[in-house]
Amino acid sequence: MNANLYALYRSRFPADPHAPFMELDDGSSVAFGDVIARSGRIAALLRALGVGKGDRVAVQVEKSAHTVCLYLACLQIGAIHLPLNTAYTVSEIAYFVGDAEPKAIVCDPASEAALAPIAAQRAGTHLLTLAADGSGSLVAGAREHAPLEEIAQADADDIAAILYTSGTTGRSKGAMLSHGNLASNVQALHEAWGFRPDDVLIHALPLFHTHGLFVALNLMLWNGGRMILMQRFDPERVIGAMSRATILMGVPTFYTRLLQSPRLDRAAAARMRLFVSGSAPLLAETHRAFAQRTGHAILERYGMTETCMNTSNPLDGERRAGTVGPPLPGVEVRVRGKDGEILAPGAIGVLEVRGPNVFKGYWRMPEKTASEFREDGFFITGDLASISDDGYVTIVGRDKDLVITGGYNVYPKEVESALDAMDGVVESAVVGLPHPDLGEAVVAVVSTGGAAPGDAAAYIAALRETLAAYKVPKRVFFVDDLPRNTMGKVQKNMLRERFADAFAPSADA
């Protein structure tokens, strides 16, 4: 049997090649037959360029139907898909390319000139371009080829994708996900969320992170059903699409923004059967407000880049606000205390997970990988949680120094390192503060060592040169010295308390 995820999808695609798969922003639609042909042509082009099994294909492009086909083409030839956030700057991309050594880089035509020197550093690396409208050398080159029919043989343990996630040390790690990891998770979710052949998904998430790629897109490929592919999240357009859809998946910011629209009501959501939230904590008050307005209880689930989805509130049964539900079938969870002891229900500790969904390790970082797994195969998530008597998991915080802003992760260390290298900064501490739209917002506190405060706007502008915009602090505060405990460690809790109201509606934000 071929465990290649694309082979599994193909066996589930509708028999009719004219069956629609994607409805696009311009109202046109792409049928399953088109998807097979377009992906096959890209697969043939990549093969002709010498991209083979296990080679990395780095992709930093706008969301479009072509992006979906490029992902499938990588799977088809057994190459490793390596999607990159469109917000990453050239210096961030240089790191990923140096680390992953891709055989091909596909970028937006607008970034070609900036990325060419990076691609040129490694002999045999091809630089191709793809714009949202399909222009660029990738699709043009693919048109010269007949669609590849063959699907590369893959074992369940072969790597299908590498997704970079930042780390507490500030150095990003490539999480290696296998065909088996992705297949087991999509299967578990498909069953747990009761997918039906006529389900229509509103896809408004980016295609370069787990939520949009391995949950939303993979589920619709597995379901062989239809999705409305929106290039970006626009609450009014999403509400407009609800009359011809059944499912929406989003980060909590989607739901708080939807609630701001007076158009969101029971009638608008009448045809929908499921609203899913994840990637960041959904406030219980958002859950309640959404239920009140639409009659739908948002289904919250919990996952990570390294594990795909771990837990989910039930489709049938109680969707408990403020919890992420019990583990998915095949996934085990437990909570450990400070001394390594496994805790009883209700107690708070670090959550660990084990199952076929858990990744194969970090790319070329065997020691880092080993340090994040227990001997019995449980992965240490770094999330603080408790498990109720009846198995519902509640995420109460994080043991890792991480900010989640609008569903994107920012590791403070990366921002602090960039700030600390700047003139006038003695040292810095980056924290996440409550933000009404983004859940948490990145904020920097800079110690001047007693000197006069610097120009916050100038620091922000300088950081934007090297860091993706969502990582750049929304505010910079200046202090003489950072608070420290007796061990000399910066007390970020004190900073969070001191500046807690920075984004409160009444604050001068």
Q: Which residues bind ligand AMP (CB under 6 A)?
A: 165, 210, 278-281, 300, 302-305, 324, 381, 383, 395, 398, 404, 409
Instruction: Read off the tokens for 227.
Output: 């999705």
Binding to ligand MLC by residue 311, rule CB under 6 A?
Answer: no
Binding partner at 200 among ligand MLC, ligand AMP, none, C-beta below 5 to 8 Å by kind:
none
Among 405, 19, 427, which residue's Cα sits nearest to residue 220?
19
The amino acid at residue 182 is L
Determine contact, residues 226/20, Cβ cutoff 8 Å: yes
Determine contact, residues 238/200, Cβ cutoff 8 Å: no
What is the longest distance spanned by two Cα atoms in the chain? 71
Residue closest to ligand AMP (Cβ) = 305
Residues 6+ apart with CB under 8 A from 37: 147
Phi, psi angle pair for 240, to nearest 5°: -60, -35
Binding span for ligand MLC by CB under 6 A among 145-153, 299-307, 339-347, 382-390: 299-307
Binding partner at 251 among ligand MLC, ligand AMP, none, C-beta below 5 to 8 Å by kind:
ligand MLC
User: In the complex with ligand MLC, which residue's Cβ is closer, 184 or 253?
Assistant: 253
Phi, psi angle pair for 479, to nearest 5°: -135, 160
User: In the complex with ligand MLC, which residue's Cβ is closer, 122 or 232?
Assistant: 232
Binding partner at 226 among ligand AMP, ligand MLC, none, C-beta below 5 to 8 Å by kind:
none
User: In the complex with ligand AMP, which residue's Cβ is closer, 381 or 428?
Assistant: 381
Binding partner at 246 among ligand AMP, ligand MLC, none, C-beta below 5 to 8 Å by kind:
none
422-481 binders of ligand MLC (CB under 6 A): 438, 469-470
User: In the complex with ligand AMP, which residue's Cβ is closer, 309 or 425?
Assistant: 309
Overall residue count recorded for the chain in this entry: 509
Determine contact, residues 368/351, Cβ cutoff 8 Å: no
3-state secondary structure of 14: coil
Instruction: Read off the tokens for 361.
Output: 């390790």
272-291 binders of ligand MLC (CB under 6 A): 278-279
Report in angstroms how near the CB of residue 83 gets to ligand AMP at its nearest.
13
Angstrom distance (rounded) from CA 258 to CA 298? 13
Report in angstroms how near the CB of residue 341 gets to ligand AMP at its nearest.
22
User: In the complex with ligand AMP, which residue's Cβ is closer, 258 or 304?
Assistant: 304
Binding partner at 323 among ligand MLC, ligand AMP, none, C-beta below 5 to 8 Å by kind:
none
The amino acid at residue 43 is A
Alpha carbon 339 to chain centroid, angstroms: 32
Binding partner at 205 among ligand AMP, ligand MLC, none, C-beta below 5 to 8 Å by kind:
ligand MLC
479-508 binders of ligand MLC (CB under 6 A): none
Determine contact, residues 332/351, Cβ cutoff 8 Å: no
Residue closest to ligand MLC (Cβ) = 406
The site map against ligand MLC for 390-409 (x = CB under 6 A) is ---------------xxxx-
Binder to ligand MLC among 127, 245, 251, 324 (CB under 6 A)?
Answer: 251
Report in angstroms how near the CB of residue 245 gets to ligand MLC at its nearest.
18
Binding partner at 32 among ligand MLC, ligand AMP, none, C-beta below 5 to 8 Å by kind:
none
User: In the complex with ligand MLC, which residue's Cβ is closer, 205 or 268?
Assistant: 205
User: In the complex with ligand AMP, which residue's Cβ is closer, 224 or 412?
Assistant: 412
Binder to ligand MLC among 210, 218, 428, 447 (CB under 6 A)?
Answer: 210
Task: Produce one character per residue of 214-232: b if its CB has 16 or more CB atoms within 10 Å, e if not.
Answer: bbbbbbbbbbbbbbbbbbe
Q: Where are the alpha helices (DSSP H) in 309-411?
A: 366-371
Binding span for ligand MLC by CB under 6 A among 44-52, 65-73, 204-212, 314-322: 204-212
Task: Give all strands of the β-sheet with 56-60 in edge-to-edge order.
Answer: 126-129, 104-107, 56-60, 80-83, 159-165, 173-178
In the chain the first and final C-alpha atoms are separated, in Å, by 58
Angstrom distance (rounded) from CA 302 to CA 164? 19
Binding partner at 473 among ligand AMP, ligand MLC, none, C-beta below 5 to 8 Å by kind:
none
Task: Produce one character per residue of 339-372: b if its CB has 16 or more CB atoms within 10 Å, e if not.
Answer: eeeebeeeeebbbbbbbbbbbbbbbebeeebeeb
Q: Which residues of the shown chain bind ligand MLC in the complex (CB under 6 A)?
A: 205-206, 209-212, 232-233, 251, 253, 278-279, 303-305, 405-408, 438, 469-470
